[in-house]
């Protein structure tokens, strides 16, 4: 009984060079389309979730890191404005202008 041999059977295994992508595609063909589409959608949603999580982590970390600086800067500016208003009330408008020029 003669076997029907494919031309690939004639080539020694050492001469066949297969990339990882080709191997994964070949392995993927073993599974039904429904399973492949389920895995694809799961991976797709997972990557979307990971990206969202990374964006959330970066944004909250930067907010926590820079918020104290922003609050302190605003407090300092408010304090300078109050001091200038007090000077203006005590010494007149020219003193506040003089103070702004030297600062």
pLDDT at 40: 92
Count of structural domains within the chain: 1
- On whether residue 7 sits in a domain, the answer given is no
Sorted by sequence, the CB contacts under 8 Å of residue 28 that are 6+ apart come out as 36
pLDDT at 89: 82
Q: Give, to the nearest 10 degrees, the angle between helix 33-91 and helix 93-102.
A: 130
What are the pLDDT digits (tens) for 68-89?
999 999 999 999 999 888 888 8
pLDDT at 14: 73
- On whether residue 24 sits in a domain, the answer given is yes
Two structure tokens written together for 79: 């304090």
pLDDT at 56: 97
- On whether residue 57 sits in a domain, the answer given is yes
Range 96-100 contact pairs with CB under 8 angstroms and sequence separation of 24 or more: none
pLDDT at 15: 72
Residue 46 has pLDDT above 80, yes or no: yes
Domain of residue 72 covers 16-102
- On whether residue 6 sits in a domain, the answer given is no
What pTM was computed for the model?
A: 0.49
- On whether residue 72 sits in a domain, the answer given is yes
- On whether residue 4 sits in a domain, the answer given is no
- On whether residue 1 sits in a domain, the answer given is no
Q: Which is more confident, 75 or 31? A: 75
């Amino acid at each position: 009984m003669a076997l029907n041999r494919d031309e690939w059977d004639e080539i020694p295994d050492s001469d066949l060079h297969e990339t990882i992508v080709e191997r994964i595609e070949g392995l993927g063909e073993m599974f039904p389309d429904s399973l492949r589409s389920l895995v694809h959608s799961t991976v797709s949603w997972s990557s979307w979730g990971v990206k969202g999580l990374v964006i959330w982590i970066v944004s909250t970390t930067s907010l926590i890191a820079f918020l104290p600086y922003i609050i302190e800067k605003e407090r300092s500016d408010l304090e300078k404005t109050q001091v200038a208003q007090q000077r203006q009330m005590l010494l007149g408008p020219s003193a506040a202008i003089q103070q702004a020029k030297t600062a």
